[in-house]
Amino acid sequence: MAVINYSKKEISAKIVYYGPSLCGKTTNIQAIYQSVKPDQKGKLVSLATEADRTLFFDFLPIEIANIRGFKTRLHFYTVPGQVYYNSTRRAVLTGVDGLVFVADSQRDKMEENVESLANLEENLNYYGKSMRTIPLVIQYNKRDLPDVMPVAEMNQILNPEGYPHTEAVATTGEGVLETLTRITKMVLQHIEKGTSGKPQQPPRVGPAAAPPAGERPSMEPAPSHAQASSHAQASPHFESTAHDARAAHPGGSKPEVAGGRIQIVGTGSAEVISANAFSIPVHVKIEGDSRVFVMDMAIKLDRFIPEG
């Protein structure tokens, strides 16, 4: 779910590297990190356990080309491969804009690949999404090892839908940047389709309900046809309107919303987005409208300042 910051003229998108334990997800991120200029990248964060090299995620922001006057930053994450960290894997997928599934090419690892791919789809379904509706590249890694399966055979098992795929040896960097280039282009095209032809200033819900200057609520790129039944058309707007449209108008059309003051009537449980950010669903009512709307409020923790 791309986040648009109108005050900074910046779009932030999230790409997640997914796959079974020790398939090469972290190695991919490390290779990318080494290849990016120092002034284009942020800090790389890695948390390790005895069973796997990544417990939560690796984080890498890169500033890239503009989209209709907005700078674009990509944030790269990996997930833990172990099954017993599934809740963490699911949390990392929150707001994902693009996916790279890293498959281990060794023949004896195919069962783990299949299980991890099925788990990815299951966790996406939890958020009402699917691999068919999000940009996805499948990377066949470890092509330098003995007893690797032919790519054609791996495609038959893991990729019957025909998603873009690459071959890689992440330990040497081979195929890593090709994978990065493919998924980046796909995500940027997905975002641009969601913003192309749309106004770059957020419209108001009502004459007295203009949002304050600064960061607006997060947006989603325009959904594909498969998503139309559960997502409203994505132009810059309050998330409260989007949630109501999804619930009351499954065909994707938006209901008319009367202008007026907004009253907060309750909040839901906070949900972790990343290591330093979380979201809170806020339930609101608009004056003159009997319906209750939901507005997802994302909060990023940059630093703590003691009082006094």
Contacts for 159-163 with beta carbons within 8 Å, 24 or more apart?
161/131, 161/132, 163/131, 163/136, 163/137, 163/138
What is the CATH class of 3-194? alpha beta
User: What pLDDT is recorded for position 1?
Assistant: 63
Residue 62 phi, psi dihedral angles, 5° rounding? -125, 130
Residue 199 CA to residue 236 CA, distance in Å, equals: 8
Is residue 184 within 8 A of residue 99, CB to CB? The reply is: no
Is residue 255 within 8 A of residue 247, CB to CB? The reply is: no
What are the domain boundaries of the chain?
A: 3-194, 225-300
Tens digit of pLDDT per residue, the chain (308 long)? 677 777 777 888 899 999 998 899 989 998 988 888 777 777 777 666 555 555 455 566 666 666 777 778 888 888 876 666 788 888 889 999 999 999 999 999 999 999 999 999 999 999 999 999 999 999 999 999 999 999 999 999 999 999 999 999 999 999 999 999 999 999 988 888 764 433 334 333 333 333 344 433 333 333 333 333 333 333 333 333 333 333 333 444 444 554 567 777 677 777 766 656 667 878 777 777 778 777 777 776 666 677 66
Is residue 221 within 8 A of residue 191, CB to CB? The reply is: yes
User: What pLDDT is recorded for position 123?
Assistant: 94
Task: Measure CA 104 to chain center.
Answer: 23
User: What pLDDT is recorded for position 283?
Assistant: 77
Residue 59 CA to residue 68 CA, distance in Å, equals: 26
DSSP label at residue 191: H
User: What pLDDT is recorded for position 46?
Assistant: 66
